[in-house]
Amino acid sequence: MDNLFAIETRDLKKTYKNKSHPTLNGFSLQIAYGSLFGLLAPNGAGKTTAINIICGLRRYDSGEIFIDGHNVSDGMQHVKPLLGLIPQEIALFPSLTAYENLKIFGGLYGLGKKLLEERIDQLLELFDLSASRNSYINRFSGGMKRRVNVIAGMLHAPKILILDEPTVGVDAQSRRLILEKLTDINKAGTTILFISHYLEEAEQICNQVAFMDNGTIVCQGNPADLIAGNSECSCLESLYLLLTGKKMRDSQ
Partner 1 sequence: MRKFGYLLYKDYLLLKRDVAGLLLMFLMPAILVVLMALLQESSYRALTEASVPLLLVNRDQGELGEAIDNRSRPRTYSRLTER
Q: Cα–Cα distance between 132 and 189 in angstroms, integer? A: 28
Binding residue (CB under 8 A) for partner 1 from 4, 108, 228, 235: 108
Q: Are 65 and 43 in contact (CB under 8 A)?
A: no
**Smallest gap, in angstroms, from Cβ of residue 166 to partner 1?**
24
Phi-psi region for residue 189, left (φ > 0), alpha (ψ -120 to 50) or beta?
Answer: left
Nearer to partner 1, 110 or 189 (CB): 110
Nearest distance from residue 146's CB to partner 1, in Å? 21
CA terminus-to-terminus distance, the chain: 41
Find the binding residues for partner 1 in span 25-84 (CB under 8 A).
Answer: none
Cβ proximity of 125 and 98 under 8 Å: no
**How many other C-beta atoms are found inside a 10 Å radius of the C-beta of residue 4?**
11
Judged by CB, which is closer to partner 1: 103, or 119? 103
Q: Write each residue from 78 to 107 as x if it is in contact with partner 1 (CB under 8 A), else as -, in one continuous string.
A: ---------------x-xx---x--xx--x
Reference 152, options 117, 103, 197; nearest CA is: 103
Nearer of residues 26 and 56 to partner 1, judged by Cβ: 56
> How many chain residues touch partner 1 (CB under 8 A)?
9
Return the number of the residue (6 or 102) whose C-beta is nearest partner 1: 102
Q: How far is the CB of 95 from partner 1 (least distance, A)?
A: 5
Residue 115 touching partner 1 (CB under 8 A): no
Structural Rg of the chain based on CA atoms: 18
Least Cβ distance, residue 96 to partner 1 (angstroms): 6
Looking at the Cβ atoms of 76 and 243, the one nearer to partner 1 is: 76
Q: Which is nearer to partner 1, 57 or 108 (CB)?
A: 108
| Closest distance to partner 1 from the beta carbon of 49 (Å) | 28
Choose, by CB under 8 A, the member of 1, 110, 189, 250 that binds partner 1: 110
Pick between residue 104 and residue 218 the one whose CB is nearest to partner 1: 104
Q: How far is the CB of 89 from partner 1 (least distance, A)?
A: 18
Calculate the CA dihedral of residues 152, 156, 157, 158 and round it to 10 degrees.
-90
Residues of this chain that bind partner 1 (CB under 8 A): 93, 95-96, 100, 103-104, 107-108, 110
